Amino acid sequence: MPARLGIERQARSSRIIAWVGVMMLCLRFWNGSGYIKYMVIFSRFDKMISRVIIRLLLLAMMVTPGLLAAAPRTEPVLLVFGDSLVAGYGLETGESFPDELGRALTGEGRDVTIINGGVSGDTTAGGASRIDWALADRPDAVIVVIGGNDALRGLSPDAMAENLDTILGTVQRDGLPLLFAGMKAPGNMGADFGRDFDNAFADALKKAKLRARATDGTVIFYPFFLEGVALEPTLNQDDGIHPNPAGVAEITRRILPSVRQLLDAAVMKTF
């Protein structure tokens, strides 16, 4: 379980203990005229009850120091990790995929904090080297969108498979629900490269699912992040690679059901 969710569960337990103590205190000092007043406890039984109440209240304060000073964050935190398709290359501030996704979720009444973990130009090797750093923000779920630059640069699909496995394995190490978005190699890279590229994603996905099965984790695969947008001139910028705002909106619309499933899994892990 993620550390922050464990702390929130501990805080919830301490609040229950505190409320039990308060309710016992109210019952102990409640008189028939409908108000609470101070009473001097004389009997041995009354003294024992009072000690139990005091210990319960002290335990509540000890379990989570600072509980009264700061309430735990309740909305899930979603990290979107990837390259320029996540960072929002060529777009204005507020037009990136994480921004559009956040607006779509808010429109459905979901309170979600979204972290944009995109770095333009990043490859799977770069992603593998920084995934630990990205997870330092302690998200509750992660979307991974990376690999397009490996294809554009003609990098080794075998190395990409290892890098993807490192990224996904690191996310799963922390017990986080995962949405893994696939990519496709451009047709001009040749059929053999395209096949090997697809196999790299398939291999990484297979290993991630095996880990999830062993740990009762969640792995959701979205086959092609640019589905319905790639090669559509009206949905892409002048470079023909990066989506424009309309393209980002279409990506969000298509992937939203998978994101809902991911967030539901993240919420279930808190119980």
Q: Is 242 a catalytic residue?
A: yes
Among residues 84, 96, 140, 165, which one is catalytic?
84
**Annotated catalytic residue: which of 96, 140, 165, 242?**
242
**Which residue among the candidates 111, 192, 216, 239 is catalytic per the annotation?**
239
> Is residue 129 annotated as a catalytic residue, yes or no?
no
- Give catalytic status of residue 84 as yes or no: yes
Q: Specify whether the CB–CB gap between 2 and 266 falls below 8 A.
A: no
Among all residues, which ones are annotated catalytic?
84, 239, 242
